[in-house]
Chains A and B, each alone.
Chain A
Amino acid sequence: MTSTLQVLADVAHSLAGEHPGPDPQLRPAATFGRLLFLGAGAATAGLALLRPLTPRPRRYAARAVAALAVAAGLATIQLDGAPVLPVLATVAALLAAHLSLGRPRLALAAGAVAAALLAARTTGDAGVAGAVQVLAAAVWLGAAAAVRQAGTAERGALAARLAPWLLPPAAAAAAGGVQLGPTAFGLILIGEATVAVVVAACWRSTARLGAAAVAALAVAVGGGTAAAAMPPAPAPPAAGAVAGGPLLTQVVLTGRRTPVLVVPQRPGWNLVHVGAERAAVGTDRDDLTAATARPGATQGWARIRLPAGRSRLWVTAGGDTAAVEVDTTEGAGLAALDGPDGPECAGAALGALTGGATTPLTGCPADRLSDEDASALRATVRFLAGRGVRGVALSGDASPRGTAAAGEVTAEATRAGLAVERPGTGRVPLIIVSGWAAADPLLRDVGVGRTPAEGTYLAPWLLTTTLLDHPAGQVLPLRYGPRDLNAVRYAAELGDRFPGEPASAAGYASWLAARRLTARGPLRLYAASRVFLPGAHGPDPAASAPAHAAHAAASWFPGGTVVAVTGPITEPTA
């Protein structure tokens, strides 16, 4: 049985143009249990739903079907890891539907509730179409069972009476099939609808019961229900994805396409970024790791250990589960990905993918201080010296880049005769050369006045929305403008590929490299600030959140601006 179901699942996925691959967790028994639950449950709900139009069904047959549905439903809790309360609620509703068969109006209500709850138990990529399938199956199976059990004398009249009720589900199934397009499930839905229309025509106009058509309908309904019961197919790899290179794909969770980024997609620890709230990921469906927020970054992040070769990554959010197929090759991990600079490094990988590059990730921005950034930091210190400040405060971190950057700032400040203090020592300009993680809480403290500072001067790699959103008087040395055409295009493409993901300096640099472009204008200082005016939403920041804007994600700083506030500034040599 197990191998048969395995084959069926693979065939179904192949028909849908999907790539099943090796799947140690397909769990044929769970799939079979879900199929029985949905099929027998639909029949039970359908018998009750149509009870006002039909005579009371034979007790033993109805009881057997209901018992099968209840048993299969309870089994899915164990076999499938289905959530206990929703399954119990569905089972209770099915029992109520069965027990109310003696009272037609009550049966109608109980059957409707049971069918609705059952429809909510469809899984995976079926989505709304799966729910339509279950509801249609309830009506069709209920009608077929009622006609089958009716006495010979009354069978024809009953069929004629039920015939019109086969058509609304047929229309819904056809619509669902059209929406799904040329997939296996879509074709099954359209086939079911066609057969149901033929059966209705037979029942209505020819007074023939069309036994062959009923059989065909039963087969079609069984196939459709099986499709709705199938576990979610793994998301196909993104076009151009390379084994061992960062992976960006999308899965359907809670009815919306959710981006998933896996970096570096190599054996060992990987950073997985999910574009959804309260998501969890892992290679073991029963042991997932919560994707949590990281300072300076947005949405969910999780460290996941991947085996060598092909494997499956499970992603859940909002009660939905989806699978992502990953393919690692031999290769070393990246140290920076494993630490606080992981999201910035992942952002660089995402920028490259967005730009069309599929090559494996070979390093992270925090691995070293570039000559250009070193020069930008020296120029920033010189600018501040020119403003007559008595000193600067400096915040770095332990990364190779942060350490080198702190050295550059300190050396240049010394040359300029400026004292270098710790943050918060006095109200002087605060230069931040750490990574995102350390910069985020420090900027928040400056904004709320816990850390006094006369403005904050961020290293170029700190250009990302989350860090600009604090009211801390941020200024950055940049060689490009975020309102430049290429920069806007990068932000727009990023918003398309990974909605809600903020643009970043590292991501833009990778995007430019992938497109073989450069953005090396003269160095200027840019001020960054939220510019938020009241209006129809009044004093409600949540109601005015950037997500409300259709193209907010296409901006480097939704709800704010990054503007050049100096002309080209002098870049002193080291």
Chain B
Amino acid sequence: MAGARTGSRRKLTARLSIVVLTAALAGFAGSRPAAATVDWASSVTASDGTVFTVTNHLTPAAFGPGREWLLAWAGPADPTSPDFMAVIDATKNSPTYGEVVNTLTVGPGLGSEPHHMQYVWHKGDSIFAGGLLSDTTLVLDSSRLPALSLRGVNIASDTPCGSAPDAYWTLKDGSAYATYMGGPNVAGPCTYTNGEVRVGNGFAGSPGEIVHIGADGRTLAEIPAASAASEDPQQCGSVPQLAVATCANPHGIAVREDLNRIVASDFLEPRDFLSPQAAPEERLTRNTVRTFDISDRSNVKLASIGTLPIGPRAALENDPFWDESRVVMETATTHLPHNKGAFAATMNGGAVHYTPDITAANPKWREVYDDTAAYRTFQPDRSVRGGGDNASWIFVSPDDRFLFHAVMGQSVPYGAPLDRTTGMVYVLDIRKMLAAGTKYKCSIDKLSEVFHGGAERDCPSLVDVLPIRDVTSGGPHWGTIDNFDRRADGTYRETKTAERMAIANYFLANSFGGDGDHRVCMVTVGRGGHLDVDNTFRDEHTGQPCVSFNRADWPHGTHGDSRPHGVLFAVSDRPLRR
């Protein structure tokens, strides 16, 4: 049954793949195969002639009625093993709830460092899965979940003006905008799709860019994230220094198609920050958030560059590296038509910032919550603060009631041992602040507000904190909300009420700043926003709550411990209604 298809033409390959997959699933529907896995492959030829192949390894649990799945994009600890997408049964009350039912292995090439997918998935969407170190994006057809097939691939040479892809946001037309943190493939001038030119210092340097990727994986547009004019050279360093200073290293991304805006947060210059060749410089860490005007989808333009403010906790920090504005990892927009605001979270700063209108010519950002206040609810001696807490995933619930935020845990050099600075997920009620529109008053500008939350009446209020104990050097970095509701008849519909989320405990291993215990946990969200670990979502091998990616055997073989980064809920096509 195992098979592989290679072809020189993308369409032909895709069609052949569909035929084979349909035959495979039809042949096994209704009766579980005796074999351990059913393997099935699909291939696509990249723009440089390289044939990329993904291979499904479907276990018996993958078969049966269509249902809900949790995808986890993972890399192995063993460098000679392939990267893979794990498909986990995420159907509550399913007999195989929490089982890895399929692993989709990827080749050629090893060690791509599987990173992010899109933030949420909707019916019909392809899945965009990026390799941080391979500078590659795979576009996967999700119409036959839990099996996946390859629709397209975007390789480094398809994006000459950017490198180190990070995050994706899918659009209604099936395409996606992606952030590329790093600079052009080669140093020097690079011409973007709209004809503009920026000079960069090379791969993984600066400036990064936004890339519009089609549903077939092709580059539709490379969009400059850097302005033509120099930004503040004191804030925006590069190595080697660029003549036109730029802080453009976009990482997090959120899109409001109805408002014609992209919001992207700047992280740091990935090549040079923490290089053993140079002392760490805070000017390589970014404190800016960019908006882009997508009114003309074929000619997206940089609309604004906003700088996050330094908050009152900075006075307590021993290094500017830890102030509230530093390393803007993630951003999240509101969703409802009457709300136009967006949030930004700082990885080193440990703070949440907000702007009420991303359509403004120059959105003004203000700190509205410090992670310190959340830590104080469960740290016995209340000594842990937000500085250097590696704050990560942030997302607004589809009904705009809650803001969810995952925090990995405070940095080792901050002084506290890892078992005391363990991570968390917390929930803020943001309704009052959103209701106040542009007249909101909330501002964390006093030290007491760092520890107790904002004093203004419309400030976000802490609903719940779920500590997630991970005593490795990493912790809960990424998350995704379950945006689907299962009806009594077994069908699914999208919902605006987030009742579950999944959290993955892994950041970046090897020489990077933090690893993690490699667990993926399911978290229930109560009606009032209360969080609980779903203890019925258990590892099929250990029987413990949460699915551990530290295991010997996978559907694709004995490849050992693995590292799940991006996670995403998705539903089989047949039971999912629009």
Contact = CB atoms under 8 A, between A and B. Distances in A.
Given A489-B80, A530-B204, A484 B109 contact: yes
Interface in B43-80: 47-49, 77-80
Interface string B506-536: 0111111111000000000000000000000
- Counting chain A CB atoms within 10 Å of each CB, which of B113, B133, B134 scores highest? B133
Nearest to A527: B203
Nearest to A487: B110
Interface stretch (A3-11, A287-295, A538-546): A538-546
B452 interface: no
B411 A529 contact: no
The listed residue with most A CB atoms (<10 A of its CB), out of B108, B347, B413, is: B413
A310 interface: no
A387 B78 CA distance: 39
Contacts of B348: 534, 538
Interface string A451-492: 011110000000000000111111100000101110011011
Given A488-B79, A552-B511, A534 B273 contact: yes
A487 to B, nearest CB: 9
A531 interface: yes
Contacts of A446: 240
Given A387-B188, A473-B187, A483 B111 contact: yes
B185 to A, nearest CB: 4
Contacts of B240: 446-449, 452, 471-473
Contact of A541 (B155, B156, B280, B510): B280
Interface stretch (B264-272, B305-313, B480-488): B264-272
A544 B77 contact: no
B173 interface: no
Contact of B510 (A470, A471, A559, A566): A559
A439 interface: no
B124 interface: no
B347 A551 contact: no
Contacts of B118: none
B347 A539 contact: no
A551 to B, nearest CB: 5
Interface in B142-197: 155-157, 160, 163-164, 182, 185-188
A565 B182 contact: no
B48 A473 contact: no
A429 interface: yes
A453 B187 CA distance: 9
Contacts of A532: 270-275, 511-513
Interface string A92-128: 0000000000000000000000000000000000000
Contacts of B409: 536
B473 A535 contact: yes
B271 A567 contact: no
Contacts of B514: 535-537
A489 B272 CA distance: 28
A382 to B, nearest CB: 14
B277 A469 contact: yes
Given A529-B202, A563-B203, A564-B156, A535 B408 contact: yes
B112 to A, nearest CB: 7
B203 A541 contact: no
Most chain B CB neighbours (cut-off 10 Å) among A452, A528, A535, A555? A535
Interface residues of A, number: 65
A444 interface: yes
A525 interface: yes
B319 interface: yes
Given A447-B239, A473-B187, A527-B202, A533 B48 contact: no
Nearest to A553: B79
Contacts, number: 243
A539 B274 contact: yes
A455 B188 contact: yes
B466 interface: no
B259 interface: no
A411 B127 CA distance: 49
B390 A536 contact: yes
A524 interface: yes
Interface string A540-574: 11011110111110110011110111111000000
B512 A544 contact: yes
B440 interface: no
B327 A534 contact: yes
A389 interface: yes
B141 to A, nearest CB: 25
A533 B188 contact: no
Contacts of B135: 561, 563, 565
A387 B185 CA distance: 13
Which of B276, B408, B474, B509 is packed against the most chain A CB atoms within 10 Å? B276
A561 B110 contact: no
Contacts of A543: 412-413
A449 B277 contact: no
B204 A540 contact: no
A564 B512 contact: no
A541 B412 CA distance: 12
The listed residue with most A CB atoms (<10 A of its CB), out of B79, B108, B133, B156, is B79
Nearest to B327: A534
A546 B204 CA distance: 18
B539 to A, nearest CB: 22
B453 interface: no
A288 B390 CA distance: 48
A483 B110 CA distance: 5
Interface in B276-292: 276-278, 280, 285
- Residue with the highest number of chain A CB atoms closer than 10 Å, among B163, B277, B327, B414: B277
Interface in B474-516: 474-475, 507-515
Contacts of A525: 186
Contact of A549 (B182, B475, B510): B510
Given A544-B512, A567-B49, A529 B276 contact: no
A501 to B, nearest CB: 16
Given A485-B80, A533-B508, A558-B510, A563 B474 contact: no
Contact of A483 (B134, B157, B513): B134
Contact of A531 (B48, B202, B270, B321): B270
Contacts of B186: 387, 455, 473, 475, 525, 527, 565
B188 A389 contact: yes
B275 A469 contact: yes
20 contacts: A473-B187, A485-B110, A491-B79, A527-B202, A527-B203, A530-B271, A533-B274, A533-B508, A534-B273, A536-B474, A536-B475, A536-B507, A538-B411, A540-B413, A546-B511, A552-B511, A558-B511, A561-B134, A564-B157, A565-B156
Given A488-B79, A533-B268, A533-B270, 8 more contacts: A448-B240, A492-B80, A525-B186, A532-B275, A536-B408, A559-B510, A561-B134, A565-B160
Give me the 5 closest cross-chain CB pairs, A-B, nearest first: A535-B513, A559-B511, A473-B202, A455-B187, A535-B514
Interface of A: 387, 389, 429, 444, 446-449, 452-455, 469-475, 481, 483-485, 488-489, 491-492, 524-525, 527-541, 543-546, 548-552, 554-555, 558-561, 563-568
